[in-house]
Chain A
Amino acid sequence: MSDLQELYQSVILDHNRSPRNFGPLDGATGTADGKNPLCGDQVSVAVRLEGDRLDAVRFTGSGCAISKASASLMTAAVQGKTREEVESLFHRFHALVTGTLPPAEMTKEQLGQLIVFSGVSRYPIRVKCASLAWHTLRAALADDATTSAMPVTTE
């Protein structure tokens, strides 16, 4: 598989074409907006927490295939997880796309469908595309109804 084929795997192209969990979220308990000012990508993530568990998460926005697919696959991956589980998955994902994840952990068991982002690490300037939605999700989880979260950027 060439670098380019690994970057643009069919799962990524599919989620780019038909993003899952795309649209507004009823009864959101937290929201955040993320932007990559240099390229104009933007994503809004809305979460609904039940206690410590992520009951629902949806997103809206526009951007390149990597950023859209990342947001889409992220929403599928974190649904039903606790904050702590989300946080740990974020760190694993971040290590994957920055190329610092030990090969032994680069498995479908550890990463689920997120493993399709393994090709990103070979394109350092695209790391921010893949990580924008995740940074925004973390801000949305830190958001509560009384304060509005700071805009997120990956720059």
Chain B
Amino acid sequence: MTTSLIAEGTTAHASLAPRHDFPLLAEQPALRYLDSAATSQKPQVVLDALTGFYATANANPHRGAYALSAAATDAYHAARATIARFLGAADPETLVFTRGTTEAMNLVANAWGAAHVQAGDEIVVTALEHHANFIPWQQLAKRTGATFRIVELTADQRIDLDHLASLLSSRTRVVAITHVSNAVGAITPVHEVVRLVRAHTNALLVLDGAQGAPHLPVAFDTLGVDFYAFSGHKMLGPMGIGGVIGTRARWAECQPWQFGGDMIEWVHDQDSTWNVLPYRFEAGTPNAADAVGLAAGVQYLAALDMAAVRAHELALLDYAHARLADVEGLHIFGPPPAERSGVLSFALADVHPHDLATILDEHGVCIRAGHHCAQPLMRRLGVSATARASLYVYTDARDIDALVDALVHARRIFGATS
């Protein structure tokens, strides 16, 4: 089966983006990096944008009345516009920068949740959520006395839409759902979720796009959700930058949640007034350099074309499934590839994921072993951890082949029984 795939020369064998665009991968040709769901590698254009900002435009944005500060401000605004356009938001000022998805979810839970959720209300999340889209809502429910409800999953770890529908009512104030599961890769049917939530509730609908934005085309303006959060470092950008896009109407319902420089209009002795969107929610010196770096990253992705990114990952997933079928005792979690992002979350017979990760590392194969910050999901799978290989634009068939060889070796070491 493997041989025939190679003979046919499927496009799955090449990477979508040249490996030599990524300095770390170019420097380590033997490295098989399969942990992009944790963080992506960075292309040279992103590193150049970062150093370019510091070398040519470094000043505090929005502060100085001098040309250099204006250059920094312009670069920061241009980055916002580029990233908003990439995510399909026509109005760049509805994009608020944060450190990443975690801070974005805490922002929404505090800035909107604290003012609008009270005892008797209900907050709905799913059992697929990353802790970043679970704990902020769990703790908001605890603080306010709201009821915290968890949508259960189908046997192949997709969101059970019937169960979701059964939990929705006029009491539902927030529905917070992942776009793509980080742990098993299941893609949420967003249009179906939006239809259900809008039909049964007036709830705030928040999508965790940390694993969606890097891997799927996203058009915020037609998505129909209220907020969409994302992390830059998973989509070729630097660590420490991400954001959340919201509708103007929902932003208007939010209260500032962090206070300080930049976010104010006027500070009186006993009270203050606030700057406009998006600055109202960006207290302190903005992370302009990383925003500029991320803008370069999304331009790189846009040039690849996000539909092509998805097609590339799907082809590699199919290739991986064909090859992994030869590995006895391997169980892959999650739905079939057509409903899954570029994530292979698996168990190999009775070999513990951490032992797998050590053996694979010896083969130069980097995977994640652990609970993937999704302990509610691990409990439902009845495991403490899974092994996860995840793909991206620079992944090619050699990475998959090395994974398969290493798994066969692991099986031999452990003489595993399936």
A126 at the interface (CB under 8 A from B): yes
Which A residues are in CB contact (< 8 Å) with B358?
Answer: 4, 7, 123, 126
On whether A64 and B415 interact (CB within 8 A), knowing A4-B362, A40-B370, the answer reads no
Interface residues of A in 45-69 (CB under 8 A from B): 62-66
A149 at the interface (CB under 8 A from B): no
How many residues of A are counted as interface, with CB atoms below 8 angstroms from the partner's CB atoms?
Answer: 18
A41 at the interface (CB under 8 A from B): yes
**Chain B's nearest CB lies how many Å from the CB of A23?**
19
Assembled-state Cα–Cα distance A44/B59 (Å): 55
Cβ 8 A contact of B355, one of A3, A40, A42, A66? A66
B139 at the interface (CB under 8 A from A): no
Which B residues are in CB contact (< 8 Å) with A4?
Answer: 358-359, 362, 413
CB of B413 within 8 A of CB of A40, answer no
Q: Write out, one digit per residue, whether chain B residues 96-127 have a CB within 8 A of any chain A CB (1) or not (0).
A: 00000000000000000000000000000000
B369 at the interface (CB under 8 A from A): yes
On whether A39 and B354 interact (CB within 8 A), knowing A13-B415, A62-B384, the answer reads yes
**Chain A's nearest CB lies how many Å from the CB of B50?**
29
How many of chain B's residues touch chain A, expressed as a range? Answer: 10 to 19
CB of A65 within 8 A of CB of B370, answer no
On whether A64 and B352 interact (CB within 8 A), knowing A8-B413, A39-B370, A40-B385, the answer reads yes
**Chain A's nearest CB lies how many Å from the CB of B173?**
32
In the complex, residue of chain B having the shortest beta-carbon distance to the beta carbon of A13? B414
On whether A38 and B370 interact (CB within 8 A), knowing A8-B413, A65-B352, A129-B354, the answer reads yes
Assembled-state Cα–Cα distance A49/B174 (Å): 54
Assembled-state Cα–Cα distance A70/B414 (Å): 16
In the complex, residue of chain B having the shortest beta-carbon distance to the beta carbon of A62? B384
Q: Write out, one digit per residue, whether chain A residues 56-87 have a CB within 8 A of any chain B CB (1) or not (0).
A: 00000011111000000000000000000000
CB of B384 within 8 A of CB of A65, answer no
CB of B370 within 8 A of CB of A3, answer no
In the complex, residue of chain A having the shortest beta-carbon distance to the beta carbon of B371? A40
In the complex, residue of chain B having the shortest beta-carbon distance to the beta carbon of A65? B355
B378 at the interface (CB under 8 A from A): yes
In the complex, residue of chain A having the shortest beta-carbon distance to the beta carbon of B350? A17
**Chain A's nearest CB lies how many Å from the CB of B89?**
36
CB of B355 within 8 A of CB of A8, answer yes
Interface residues of A in 11-51 (CB under 8 A from B): 13, 38-42
Which A residues are in CB contact (< 8 Å) with B351?
Answer: 65
> Can you show 14 pairs from A to B with CB atoms below 8 A apart?
A4-B362, A8-B413, A13-B413, A13-B414, A39-B369, A40-B371, A40-B378, A62-B384, A63-B352, A64-B352, A64-B354, A65-B352, A66-B355, A129-B354
6 more contacts with CB within 8 A, not counting A13-B413, A13-B414, A126-B358, are A4-B358, A39-B354, A40-B385, A42-B384, A64-B355, A65-B351
